[in-house]
Amino acid sequence: MPLSRILLVAITLLSAASTCIAQTPANEEPAPPREPGENAPPSLITDRVSREQRAHGENPSLILPYRPNYIMPVTYIDDPGEVPAAGDGGELDNVETKFQISFRLPLWDDVFSDNGDVLFAYTQLSLWQIFNDELSSPFRETNYEPELIASFDTDWDILGLKNRLLMVGLVHQSNGRSEPLSRSWNRVYANFIMEKDSFALSVKPWYRFPESEDDDDNPDIEDFLGHGEVRGVYKYAANVFSAKLRNNLDFGQNRGALELSWSFPLRKGLIGYTELFTGYGETLIDYNRDITRVGIGVAMNTWF
């Protein structure tokens, strides 16, 4: 695959995303702390919320980033699995492209006693066998994840951290494929988002809505993805480090996943992004497969 084609794909995807996702400028002066007279700079969540509130106030229809938007043109996965029966005649490559588009749109502000907002969020994660000319460079997997979220401002002290946000959401996730490759599930979750200085912690338990045996494409998904996840984010200068952990808490058949990422500045408006994933459930098609992936690319935004 020529390098020019890889660069063209990266530029096209990032340009398309940038037309519909607006983010507050990275070099904008941080918002002042909420507590008057305090000289310390605002912490991560306070800073991001303040910047987004100002941007939303100036343009109420503004679409904001939700999770990081990135493209890793080159990633290596230790086991990409097998080609579906409809695609016989070749093998899947260990090297593929991974990219994510994620945004949120405020729907209603201050609908819960002036202390809560309703949001719509959407995340799309794709794995692209772009170097696999033998199979005509197919998309190996795409996950679609719309969410409806109620977000509340909080001010709770928990184990030395300050819980700043409580987000309660309904989420559907599926890969939009037909049997036998169809995967989907529906959940309700509570996301407790805490902070202290340059560190933020998300504790996100969820409950899966049960489905009938005839409709359930992946009845054992909780055996691999568990009942929640924890993510920690640390910002050092212009670098953002993130670690996500899942575990099914079944000590007889213990399964989980670890995702590590590092975002770092390249130039104004462009962020370097590298990621390591190991375990179960990187995507729905691999929810019950233990894989390891490492990749590097560029991002439009970070967690903070």
* Sequence-ordered strand ranges (E) for 159-227: 161-174, 184-196, 199-208
Q: From the centroid of its chain, how far is CA 298? A: 15
CA angle 177, 106, 171 (to 5 degrees): 30
What are the b/e assignments for 252-267, b being 16+ CB within 10 Å? eeebbbebebebbeee
* Residues acting as catalytic residues: 172, 174
How many angstroms separate the CA atoms of 39 and 105, rounded? Answer: 33
How many angstroms separate the CA atoms of 298 and 280, rounded? Answer: 24
Work out whether strand 95-108 and strand 70-77 pair parallel, antiparallel, or are unpaired: antiparallel
Cα-Cα-Cα-Cα dihedral sign, residues 165, 170, 176, 179? positive
Question: 242 pairs with which residues across the strands?
Answer: 233, 261
How many angstroms separate the CA atoms of 267 and 169, rounded? Answer: 35
Which contiguous run of DSSP H or E holds residue 292?
A: strand 291-299
- Return left, alpha or beta for 2; rule: phi > 0 is left, psi -120 to 50 is alpha, else beta: beta
38 Cβ neighbours under 8 A, 6+ residues apart: none
* CB 23 within 8 Å of CB 103: no
Q: Half-sphere exposure of residue 218, counting CA atoms within 13 Å on the CB side?
A: 26
Count the residues in the chain.
304
